Structure 1
């Protein structure tokens, strides 16, 4: 009898737990034509601008030298586009006065000019991640995933008469609906792997009391499935489950550490004590979510506009936002550049996870588009043009990296967002102030 292929939606299940599987050869019928690769999109935001002289390559085309801020992604150079000349004119004041940080966060993925208000009558635009989530996210368990690294609020004022909603998220499911992000890795983990078929608190309590891994609960299903797989699939399954267990172990260790060292009210459960651990853990969760096709659209904010995180691990005790108003002081510029480069180091960790995880016909990075950047360039002057922008990954053949592309000054950033949507098979006629897709990405 002909062996039936596994469904791409196969889950390992146990008491109060379910684990999606990565792509396996057994999911492709024998002699079947190769399926079109799945393409993912990640939008990674760094706030408060960057020091542009250490970001922008001097040369255009393929013969460019990576400036100091971008050196951490040297090993990803062949899959990286450095894009210059883009702008968000709707992030400018346009008669509304101060509030550039709020307008920067609000406009990055929308291209819209947010209404100046501290009240409930906020209004912005539809963000490109949510355009994609509506179009391609309906076939995955989570249409999109919104992640951040700081505790934030969505009400009240945060910047010169603008609602905190504008600074504290980059995702908008409608012009009046900002999507708050999740900053706790434990809750992200449970969204990805918790069983949606039951909310029985008893099942969760049993698991917590026994202090067992989520994977222990799906062991029976794993043991039944493994003998039916070929050697390559068994190795792939083992590697994938090892990565899930490693992330879970790290979260549990953090929770045990928190229980001993910190009052429970001072630090939310599951949040790592350092920026580096936090961003790396979230990056690992995103990579697993992409590998298991739990979602294809993710946003993550390394920092929020106007945020004042400090970076003692790299010798920068200054608050980020305050330091970004450097007043051309060379020492302050040097410290700010160290933050810029450190964020790119965190990006390199994420890209490495995508490169190391295999999909149907290559790596996750081959089949992803990762947009990294800020909606301010010179934060000292609050400029919204010449935006620092990277596009990394193959996009399933839609993007040819290894180049520095310079477009005419003032080219709408939204043109790049439309181009990414086209690469994901989503036709969007207009977004914010867009004038049309960009040429030359392939």
Structure 2
């Protein structure tokens, strides 16, 4: 809420012009853009990590098959190219119709409704730009098989999405991505690791030892999936023989340090990769309560993005 434009979108504005997709947004939950969720805030804040503007979320995709088709298209060879061209032309024609209809409607609206329409049109124009960019780039289709859809097993769902993110980086379809492993209020159960309780329910543990132990199991489960992702990146070699992981800057964490008390300070954040950017990883560091946006601002600097302020940031980290 305080940031407005999310850090990934600032990065995408800088490097996105060089790739088919400026950014890639992933999730394992179907997106919600309206309604009230925790503490009376809009559900849009729980279900969207990436924000193009303070009021325009970049909706994530949860279906691996849809992600694959967006990255590499559908079909094979000539069929693939023709199918992709038809799809893009159809999408553009729909957007042209929407824009023309909106212009006619705008004349009859008051100031408040006109502002809302302008916000909507901003999103439409952003989509139009993404389609035009997609027309310019043709990604080489990988040998990775196209997913059938959403796996029934949650762990498999996470790993397939991580695989697709690795492929997106490896083929340079995009250089910026975000992955919402689960929305903030998720009450998913984890029977496969012996935790039948809902995640959100046991996060309000009131120092109950058994609930804390179950939370630890869930944390370990997610950490194992993240380790799988890092191992995949490390196994991909760049032209110079270095691991793809060395050329990535990846943050892993959440927005609450204590779910029982809803504490949003002292967040445990893991930073991985970045060797090519001379990041100092493999250590634990306490930054003394500075905003998380200070870290993001510092990472933007390593990407060559000229930014002095990001949301509630107070400066760049002295040590990174």
**What TM-score does the superposition give when structure 1 sets the normalisation length?**
0.57
Aligned CA distance change for structure 1 residues 200 and 304 (closer, same or farther; 3 Å): closer
| 1:187 matches 2:66 | yes
- Deviation of 1:435 after TM superposition, in Å, equals 1.3
Gaps of at least 5 residues in structure 2 are 74-80, 89-139
Cα 1:430/1:395, change in 2 over 3 Å:
farther
The count of aligned residue pairs is: 260
Q: Find the partner of 1:392 among 272, 288, 291.
A: 272
Residue-by-residue CA offset, 1:100-154 (whole Å, 9 max, x unaligned): xxxxxx5xxxxx1xxxxxxxxxxx6110000011111111000000000012311
Q: Quick check: which one's helix share is greater?
A: 2
State the Cα deviation string for residues 405-438 of structure 1 (Å, max 9, x = none).
Answer: 1112x21110000010011111111001111110
Measure how far apart 1:197 and its partner are.
Answer: 5.0
How far apart are residue 245 of structure 1 and its match?
3.0
- Note if contact 1:154-1:164 (Cα within 8 Å) is conserved in structure 2: yes
Q: Tell me, what secondary structure is at the counterpart of 2:189?
A: coil
Query: What stretches of structure 1 of length at least 5 have no aligned partner?
Result: 1-105, 107-111, 113-123, 202-239, 256-269
Match of 2:300 in 1: 421
Secondary structure of the residue that 1:146 maps to in structure 2?
strand
Helix, strand or coil at the partner of 2:223? helix
Please give the alpha-carbon distance, in whole angstroms, between the structure 2 residues aligned to 1:427 and 1:403. 27
Residue among 192, 197, 206 paired with 1:313: 192
Q: What is the alpha-carbon root mean square deviation over aligned residues?
A: 1.7
Deviations 1:168-218 (A, max 9, x none): 1111000110111100000100010014851269xxxxxxxxxxxxxxxxx
Change (3 A) 1:200 1:435: closer
- Contact conserved, 1:376 with 1:382, CA < 8 A, in 2? yes
Is the Cα contact below 8 Å between 1:143 and 1:297 reproduced in 2?
yes
* Bigger RCO of structures 1 and 2 (CA < 8 A, at least 6 apart): 1
Question: Which residue number corresponds to residue 338 of structure 1?
Answer: 217
In structure 2, C-alpha distance between the alignment counterparts of 1:398 and 1:311, rounded to whole Å: 38
**2:4 is matched with which residue: 125, 148, 151?**
125
2:68 is paired with a residue of what secondary structure? helix
Q: Name the one with the larger strand percent.
A: 1
Q: Which has the larger radius of gyration?
A: 1
TM-fit CA distance, 1:395: 4.8
Q: How does 1:236-255 map to 2 (within 5 A)?
A: 244-248=142-146, 251=147, 255=148
Matches of 1:326 and 1:368 in 2, distance apart?
36
Q: Verify: 1:356 aligned to 2:254, yes or no.
A: no
Q: Write the mapping of 1:162-181 to structure 2, written as runs, cut at 5 A.
A: 162-181=41-60
